[in-house]
Structure 1
Amino acid sequence: MTTAAAPLEYKVTARAVHGDVAEVTAAQAVVPIDAGWATPSTGAPGPADLLGSAFAACMLKNLARSGALLGFEYDDAHLEVVLHRQDAPPKFTHIEYALRISTDEPERRVELVHTNLRKFGTVYNTLAAVCEVHGTVTAVRRTQKKT
């Protein structure tokens, strides 16, 4: 009989001083956040920005995982994520992404990586369970980058 591993836990703490600063501590990083209401923007990321950032971090971390597990070689990656929200009721309706990977891998391997990003991303799958998530992965050939 096998036993399942205990689920991982992630602890995030946050603090706000009324009318002043707000910050989140995650892992070893302190991130200033915009947690004000009806106040001028602080320029720091707000909740929607942080959700989009978590999605992007998930995709890039999973790309690194795919690189290691599949032997997928790439130089760098650029990801753009757009979250669409509605006001009533307040929720995100869909998420779009465009990932550009600098690689000379064949197109079928690029598609395999895209499949893995959709299949094994924790944040990706969590968000896909509550709203539509779709996007593209495009290979930018290394020879094209040099021109």
Structure 2
Amino acid sequence: MTYAINAKSFANKDASITIKETSIQFGTTPQSNDTLASPADLFLSAFAACILKNVQRFSVLMKFEYAYADITVNAIRLEKPPRMDHIDYQLTVYTNDQNLNSALLKKNIEKFGTIYNTVKLSCTINGTVTTKA
């Protein structure tokens, strides 16, 4: 499987990424620090998207139903060299389904997530998976 995106940046302006039919603006200038996503924000967003995609995927394989899932991701960035050092996530799956085994869902997310597995090679990841009705 292969992937392709296109990104553009113009001098003294912000940038955008085109992915299939989606366009995402992101900040590259000091003026947009507080208003647009940074590359680090996009990185963490891809991590979160990977986990949420796998909730959907495993809801079919594990045969559970859910209304929605919510994830919060926090990260610690080191300065020298600049990189993400630690990622912490809290995933909540909103369901009334008693068939959901949260521990197994977490194990599957961590074993089969493409972005998750790529990221865990370079930094530590801790996470929790909980359910709420």
Q: TM above 0.5, one fold?
A: yes
Q: Which runs of 4+ in 1 moved over 2 A?
A: 104-108
CA–CA distance in structure 2, aligned partners of residues 35 and 16 of structure 1 = 8
| Identical counterparts, % of pairs | 36
- 1:34 counterpart (27, 38, 48): 27
TM-score for the superposition, normalised by structure 2: 0.93
CA–CA distance in structure 2, aligned partners of residues 107 and 47 of structure 1 = 38
Gaps of 5+ in 2: none
RMSD: 1.5
Gaps of 5+ in 1: 1-7, 143-147
Give the number of the structure whose alpha-carbon radius of gyration is greater: 1
- 1:83 counterpart (75, 78, 82): 75
User: What does residue 15 of structure 2 align with?
Assistant: 22
TM-score for the superposition, normalised by structure 1: 0.84
CA–CA distance in structure 2, aligned partners of residues 56 and 17 of structure 1 = 28
Q: Which amino acid aligns with 2:14?
A: V
Alpha-carbon deviations, 1:48-101, whole Å to 9, x = none?
000000001000000000001111211111100012101011111010000111
CA contact (8 A) 1:107 1:139 kept: no
CA apart distance, 1:21: 3.0
CA contact (8 A) 1:78 1:99 kept: yes
CA apart distance, 1:26: 1.2
Number of residues of Structure 1 aligned to a counterpart in Structure 2:
132
The alignment partner of 2:2 has SS state of: coil
